[in-house]
Structure 1
Amino acid sequence: MLSSEKINMEALEAIQNGAASKPIFSKDSCVVFTVLGASGDLAKKKIFPSLCNLFEKKILPPTCQIIGCARSSMTTQQLADKSNPFMKAKNKDVLTEFWKRVSYVSCGAYDKAEGFITLSDKIEEFEKSHGGEKRFRLFYLALPPAVFIPVCTQLKNNCWIQSRSKSLEKFTSDRYTAECRVIVEKPFGKDLESSNQLSQAITALFNEQEIYRIDHYLGKEMVLNLMILRFGNELFRSVWNRERIACVVITFKEPFGTYGRGGYFDTNGIIRDVMQNHLLQILCLVAMERPVSVHASDIRDEKVKVLKFIRPLDLDDVVLGQYTGNPDGQTEDSKLGYRDDPGVPNDSKTATYACAKLNIDNDRWAGVPFFIKCGKAMNERKAEIRIQFKDTPSDIFGSKCKRNELVIRVQPDEAVYCKMNVKSPGMSFEAEESELNLTYHERFQDMDLPDAYERLILDFILGTQTNFVRTDELAEAWRIFTPLLHKLDAGAKTPVEYPYGSRGVASADDFIRDSGFKFSGTYKWTAAKK
């Protein structure tokens, strides 16, 4: 097989071109991709559709066999019927050919060996019929965290190529090489202690090169764009520091609440659900130093260094909110508050909105506040990174010039735009706010922007760990949030109420302004029409 870095570049280029010009795996490679938890929502809504997209674009290795595995008893056809409504590929021929690659195995209890021996036999059956000297066993754990350790233990004991003595003799005599890898979904624990326990259990079974902790935000187009935007453009190098930047605001908003899954959400809250993982990962890419190379270890080394400079959060560093029903809401859901969900206690103090200020105590960022804010049941769907530069010194235009801002719009309407001051058109000589605008669907009209899961599953197949979370990176992230979370779990701070469909907690705006952000309210960017 080619090196992971070279394969990944070829594969991503192939995605942009719509099809692979040549195989990304050698002909003597045998790839088996197993989805554990195949009967669940994540599998049917994201994993199988992403695999089908890769198949349709001829990116999926031609030798790849897919196995769905869960406790449920079902047929492959029943699995297909559950997943097909979520497939982007509506061509029946494509779907038919894709499902020919898929089979289903019921493994029974996740802590019993019998089902995993059956799974391993199924994998070996395909490997034997295919032949080849290079074998890849890939396992996606689309499962609740409570079963991670028993499932990983059974995989190691029964499905890892080096584990079963009977298989080991055959594999050695056949003289083929093999790689096994596993994807683990978040949440990776609830605090530093539980995360460390989970990591220690998994790393005792597998080495770090075999573990892929997935955070799907790292697969989003505009998050990936941060690396090239920062380190591929000289014009940003000299201004990306505390001398020029006043503050950074990273925002995540969703226009729907948690009704129907309040029981799950109430045990986690918005900080564990979104902030400690998705938004902190984005912050790392904004703030880290230039890596030595684009290799996974070099990039993740720099992310860990940034995290080590961030102080742990305390109660004064956050504003919390919890949404209430909006009597004027346009939908039935919007009239329901968070605590109207039967799964949520009537006295719950779980936050559905949070705004936190983080400080990075290094030479580049000392004194620059980084705000990360996120919320459910808000006025719009949006994720963006807003980098606000300092005021123009000695404004000769009578304080008419507003602060420059570089904005990376992650979703929806992917874009990069820079808010700047220009002359107002016409006879006047007044300053006016406008923007330099790169809207992706306008500039790259014929390009396909792959779904985040599609991209990360491809990276997993290819063995590229750049966009996955490493053990020490995870530990540092929890170090920052655990003191705060323990106090919140003990009820030390009551969230402020905000109505469904609003901008969130009004006092959060003051919290951000008091730390240096300036909101003029005189200009709003509008996405170009598709």
Structure 2
Amino acid sequence: MSRPNPLRDPQDRRIPRIAGPCALVMFGVTGDLASKKLMPAIYDLANRGLLPPGFALVGFARRDWDTEDFAEVVHNAVKANARTPFREEVWKQLSDGIRFVAGELDDDAAFDRLKQTIDELDESRGTGGNHAFYLSIPPGLFPNVVGQLRSHGMAEQDHDRWSRVVIEKPFGHDLKSAQELNDIVSTAFPASSVFRIDHYLGKETVQNLLALRFANQLFEPVWNNNYVDHVQITMAEDIGIGGRAGYYDGIGAARDVIQNHLLQLLALTAMEEPTSFEASQLRAEKQKVLAAARPPRDLGLHTARGRYTAAWAGGEKVGGYLDEPRIPADSTTETYAAIRVDIDNRRWAGVPFYLRAGKRMPRRVTEIALGFKQAPHLPFDETDTAELGYNALVMRIQPDEGVTLRFGAKVPGTQMEIREVNMDFAYGGSFTESSPEAYERLILDVLLGDPPLFPQHEEVELSWRILDPILDYWASLGTPPDDYEAGTWGPKSADEMLARDGFAWRRP
């Protein structure tokens, strides 16, 4: 009898995955993430019948609110951002379990009240001592909250009840701080109860990468250095930093995106086939790849960083990074980062992986593109193939989720002329079901204690070992990032970086 696939969608009727009795305690309820993603995801889960009737949501913040005020905040967030239709009966059931605790993160009395609140919910809602603590707060505040949860007995668990902690990125700002953060969290929670959220891993199209690779004999034989020329992984945003100056400045594109999202995509692209999709097997294969990955030997030639300047973008005049509110004039934070990563193993030796992330790009897109080597012999005249580039397999993570295969085909006519064409698969055109938001999947997995899509601290530390030498090199330069105009694809230094290897960036 085959084992159930832990990556199967929770709505699969053959193997329903519905959370048992539990409460979710959310720190950082006044932030954008909570209102735009977390609260709507909780409602959508309830609306899909995937939360227990007695589910409870507790907010903790220093606002002068009572429970009714917090319930109204949740209601407004749900109405504005939920994916599924608003239904009064679902909201009534969910709102009956909403509570709010006001206080500072270093206030012992506030955590006493929090403990009393979740104890009351165990009785009134039947949450059974099962509590998840979502830390949607800056990493510098983690020690306070973890220490308070431990000292007030809220991290305790046994075979009858569980306590879990959810941590949002960034997981530290370098290897040393990541290790210190892990030490702090592990004083209260065992590794199996720590869930590090990387919302990209919850996206349906990221999981489809595993299906594309391992469910199809078509691709695996050419998924190696015998056929693949190079790999490009791109995350482009068409927006600036918005109101995130306090978070973003000093962090930058490399720490914000490459260390977590893009290196996780690299690991999933390059890893060997796991023996199963159990968490331990997936992690083992990803860790092998990250352990074999290394930064470029010449950091000056194979890394690039940039910062957007004022220009016309998306039909409007936008300011540069230094024009954003609360950004200091002497900031050296990059809004664009591109790096080359090499993987020293038999499958990928000699294949460069290029990772880039940037803000104020011409369009929003995240994709993984495998460029294939040209055929060793082309029995055509040079003029026949003048418009023929390299074959490519492109996996679009967002938006317009799907897969594109680019290859050469004959142009209709009497002459032999080859031109590039695309064969497209689009999720929206092939499936009638709408994909759940990544946070829906990940929050449910936390409540179920299902860990395949969550990186453990070993993966986090291996990622920092790749990125730290690059960040140290950039800091040693003592110069600001290269300028690029808003609405363009980054600084010239990024184009030169690939040109040195005989490649060019894709224009998604």
**Superposition TM-score, scaled by structure 2 size:** 0.91
Which of 140, 161, 165 does residue 178 from structure 1 map onto? 161
Amino acid at match of 2:149: L
List aligned pairs for 1:271-310, cutoff 5 A. 271-310=254-293
What are the superposed Cα offsets for residues 383-427 of structure 1, whole Å, 9 maximum, x if unpaired? 111100001111112351431100000111001111011222344
The more displaced of 421-430 and 317-326 is 421-430
Contact between 1:186 and 1:214, CA under 8 Å: does it hold in 2? yes
Aligned to 1:528: none
Deviation at 1:49, TM superposition (A): 0.2
Contact between 1:349 and 1:491, CA under 8 Å: does it hold in 2? no
Residues 496/217 of structure 1: CA separation in 2 closer, same or farther (3 Å cut)? same
Deviation at 1:510, TM superposition (A): 3.0
Which of 16, 25, 37 does residue 34 from structure 1 map onto? 25
Deviation at 1:73, TM superposition (A): 2.2
Secondary structure at 1:143 match in 2? coil
Contact between 1:56 and 1:94, CA under 8 Å: does it hold in 2? no
Task: Work out whether 1:425 is the aligned partner of 2:412.
Answer: yes
List aligned pairs for 1:343-492, cutoff 5 A. 343-399=326-382, 400=385, 401-444=388-431, 446-492=432-478
Residues 343/43 of structure 1: CA separation in 2 closer, same or farther (3 Å cut)? same
Contact between 2:146 and 2:185, CA under 8 Å: does it hold in 1? yes
Measure the CA separation in 2 of the matches of 1:458 and 1:242: 38
Which of 205, 209, 225 does residue 222 from structure 1 map onto? 205
Deviation at 1:330, TM superposition (A): 3.2
List aligned pairs for 1:252-263, cutoff 5 A. 252-263=235-246
Measure the CA separation in 2 of the matches of 1:456 and 1:380: 27
Deviation at 1:249, TM superposition (A): 0.2
Task: Work out whether 1:123 is the aligned partner of 2:118.
Answer: yes
Measure the CA separation in 1 of the matches of 2:257 and 2:91: 36
Amino acid at match of 1:274: V
Residues 123/5 of structure 1: CA separation in 2 closer, same or farther (3 Å cut)? farther
Secondary structure at 1:60 match in 2? coil
Deviation at 1:270, TM superposition (A): 0.8
Which of 110, 118, 123 does residue 105 from structure 2 map onto? 110
Deviation at 1:259, TM superposition (A): 4.5
Task: Work out whether 1:509 is the aligned partner of 2:491.
Answer: no
Instruction: For structure 2, list consecutive stretches of 5 or more residues without a partner in the other structure.
Output: none
Measure the CA separation in 2 of the matches of 1:391 and 1:369: 16
Measure the CA separation in 2 of the matches of 1:161 and 1:187: 22
Aligned to 1:151: 145
Deviation at 1:206, TM superposition (A): 1.1
Which of 185, 195, 199 does residue 212 from structure 1 map onto? 195
Amino acid at match of 1:317: H
Aligned residue-pair number: 496
Task: Work out whether 1:239 is the aligned partner of 2:222.
Answer: yes
Measure the CA separation in 2 of the matches of 1:474 and 1:22: 31
Contact between 1:66 and 1:101, CA under 8 Å: does it hold in 2? no
Contact between 1:254 and 1:377, CA under 8 Å: does it hold in 2? yes
Task: Work out whether 1:96 is the aligned partner of 2:91.
Answer: yes
Contact between 1:8 and 1:459, CA under 8 Å: does it hold in 2? no
The RMSD of aligned alpha carbons is 2.4
Residues 392/45 of structure 1: CA separation in 2 closer, same or farther (3 Å cut)? same
Contact between 1:36 and 1:140, CA under 8 Å: does it hold in 2? yes
Measure the CA separation in 2 of the matches of 1:21 and 1:286: 28
Amino acid at match of 2:449: G
Task: Work out whether 1:58 is the aligned partner of 2:17.
Answer: no
- The percent of aligned pairs where both chains have the same amino acid is 37
What are the superposed Cα offsets for residues 64-83 of structure 1, whole Å, 9 maximum, x if unpaired? 22212222221344334432
Measure the CA separation in 1 of the matches of 2:295 and 2:269: 19
Task: Work out whether 1:322 is the aligned partner of 2:313.
Answer: no
Deviation at 1:511, TM superposition (A): 1.7
Aligned to 2:136: 142
What are the superposed Cα offsets for residues 50-105 of structure 1, whole Å, 9 maximum, x if unpaired? 00111111112233222122222213443344323223345351563254244232
The more displaced of 258-267 and 365-374 is 258-267
**Superposition TM-score, scaled by structure 1 size:** 0.88
Residues 462/7 of structure 1: CA separation in 2 closer, same or farther (3 Å cut)? farther
Residues 490/260 of structure 1: CA separation in 2 closer, same or farther (3 Å cut)? farther
Measure the CA separation in 1 of the matches of 2:419 and 2:267: 33
The more displaced of 187-196 and 93-102 is 93-102
Contact between 1:23 and 1:62, CA under 8 Å: does it hold in 2? no
Aligned to 1:46: 37
Deviation at 1:312, TM superposition (A): 3.6
Instruction: For structure 1, list consecutive stretches of 5 or more residues without a partner in the other structure.
Output: 15-19, 164-170, 526-530
Residues 75/331 of structure 1: CA separation in 2 closer, same or farther (3 Å cut)? farther
Measure the CA separation in 1 of the matches of 2:180 and 2:155: 25
The more displaced of 75-84 and 411-420 is 75-84
Measure the CA separation in 2 of the matches of 1:35 and 1:502: 38
Contact between 1:7 and 1:462, CA under 8 Å: does it hold in 2? no
Measure the CA separation in 2 of the matches of 1:94 and 1:110: 34
Measure the CA separation in 2 of the matches of 1:60 and 1:246: 46
What are the superposed Cα offsets for residues 257-283 of structure 1, whole Å, 9 maximum, x if unpaired? 125333432210111111111111100
Measure the CA separation in 2 of the matches of 1:22 and 1:471: 30
Amino acid at match of 1:121: Q
Measure the CA separation in 2 of the matches of 1:341 and 1:415: 34
Secondary structure at 2:273 match in 1? coil
Residues 366/97 of structure 1: CA separation in 2 closer, same or farther (3 Å cut)? same
